[in-house]
Amino acid sequence: MKWTSETPTEPGIYLFVLNKGKPRAVTVYDYCDDLCFDLSDNDGTSRYNVHFMRFFDPQWYGPIPEPTWE
């Protein structure tokens, strides 16, 4: 598995981590002609622009296949 600091360029499911913390699976989607994702924490859910996040030096892995139910 190879992490990258390159910003996602297409919608999909990605693993996302900041400061070598705990990875989270996030869905990157097209929102208002840009790529965004939502993160939930104790204060609720916040929407983030993937291009803005580059200032925080995130690491990305993906896109990964969407899970399926059998």
pLDDT score, position 3: 94
| pLDDT digit string, tens, across residues 9-67 | 999 999 999 988 899 999 999 988 899 999 887 788 899 999 999 899 999 999 999 88
The model's pTM is 0.84
Judge contact between 14 and 65, C-beta under 8 A: no
* Phi-psi region at 20: left, alpha or beta (left = phi > 0; alpha = psi -120 to 50): left
Mean pLDDT of 3-7: 93
pLDDT score, position 41: 78
- State how far the Cα of 68 lies from the Cα of 1, in Å rounded to an integer: 21
